[in-house]
Homo-oligomer: A and B are copies of this chain.
Amino acid sequence: MKKVFTLAATALLLGSLTSTALADGHLKQAAEARQSAMKLYAFSLGQLGAMVKGEIPYDAAAAEGAAKNLLALATLDQSAFWSAGSGSDGALGSMTRAKPEIWSTYPAVVEKSKAMVAAAEEMAAAAGTGVDGIKANIGKVGGACKACHDDFRGPKQ
């Protein structure tokens, strides 16, 4: 992963990415972008979960930061992350677990995204008020993750 990032960043900064390479790598880059966003969701949710479980001490600023990160991620413009053809039925195959239903039932997936934004908004408002604020909202956030995964993420391969 580090090598991929490094190559991409270097190419972008130096303006040396050719049209051909861009076309070839387009779907892979899209899938990696959404996987990066998912990893950041998991990281921020993990911080909040660790506070709830007492694995790390509650810290209001850190909790609010993590919750606001969740909201920022949920409100990213992800349209380019989900390019047509970048599902598990396309050229990427097992590199992605994104089910074809994401595209074939569109905009159903958008409703899942809206639920995540709503849950993240409530978490962002509550997480800095105390660990109980996290507890009151973490189920809804996790449920929004799960609801989308249940419908639109395929099994491990």
- The tally of residues in A whose CB lies under 8 Å from a CB in B reads 54
- Cβ-based interface call for A102 (8 A): no
- Cβ-based interface call for A118 (8 A): no
Given A13-B146, A17-B46, A22-B55: A39 and B77 within 8 A (CB)?
Answer: no
In whole angstroms, what is the CA distance A81 to B97 when docked?
26
A contacts with B: majority SS:
helix
CB-contacts of A74-131 with B (<8 A)? 75-77, 79-81, 95-97
In whole angstroms, what is the CA distance A62 to B78 when docked?
10
User: What residues of B have a CB within 8 angstroms of the CB of A36 in the complex?
Assistant: 35-37, 39-40, 43
User: What residues of B have a CB within 8 angstroms of the CB of A12 in the complex?
Assistant: 42, 45-46, 49, 142
CB-contacts of A33-83 with B (<8 A)? 33, 35-43, 45-47, 49-50, 53, 55, 62, 64-66, 68-69, 72-73, 75-77, 79-81
26 interchain pairs, CB-CB under 8 A: A1-B39, A2-B96, A4-B39, A6-B97, A6-B156, A8-B39, A9-B42, A12-B142, A15-B49, A15-B53, A17-B50, A19-B55, A22-B46, A29-B43, A29-B46, A32-B39, A35-B36, A36-B37, A40-B40, A47-B80, A62-B79, A65-B77, A68-B77, A69-B77, A72-B72, A72-B73
